[in-house]
Amino acid sequence: MQELGAEMESRDLDKTPLSATEIEALIGDRDHKEFLNKRNELYRSRKMGEKPPLRSEAIALMAKNPNLIKRPILICEGKMELGFDEKVYRKLLT
């Protein structure tokens, strides 16, 4: 979204994964299940949609398996959007 003049900070989670502490802070008081990537193999094999993990377990799993985190995560002026939705991104950035 640089064409909108937004400065972006990017982090490759495969190279520099988030720690459990960082994930906990990122989730804050939100529902941890929103941060789980439903397309991830681990999510599907553990049937997390039917039996979601507890918050602490989900955070530990996301710290060990960065692809389990729904991405991208856009944080703009205190608002957060999970997953890519160009219309939402444009609205947040303009």
Q: Where are the domains of the chain?
A: 16-93
Encoded amino acid at 65, one letter: N
Q: How far apart are CA 43 and CA 89, in angstroms?
A: 26
Q: How far apart are CA 88 and CA 58, in angstroms?
A: 26
CA angle 49/54/56 to nearest 5° reads 130
- Nearest CA to 34 among 49, 22, 47? 49
Q: How far apart are CA 10 and CA 44, in angstroms?
A: 27
pLDDT of the chain, 94 residues: tens digit per residue: 556 666 778 889 999 999 999 999 999 999 999 999 999 999 999 999 999 999 999 999 999 999 999 999 988 888 888 998 888 888 877 7
What would the CATH number be for the domain defined by 16-93?
A: 3.40.30.10
- Nearest CA to 85 among 71, 65, 66? 71
Query: Could you tell me the pTM of the whole model?
Result: 0.86
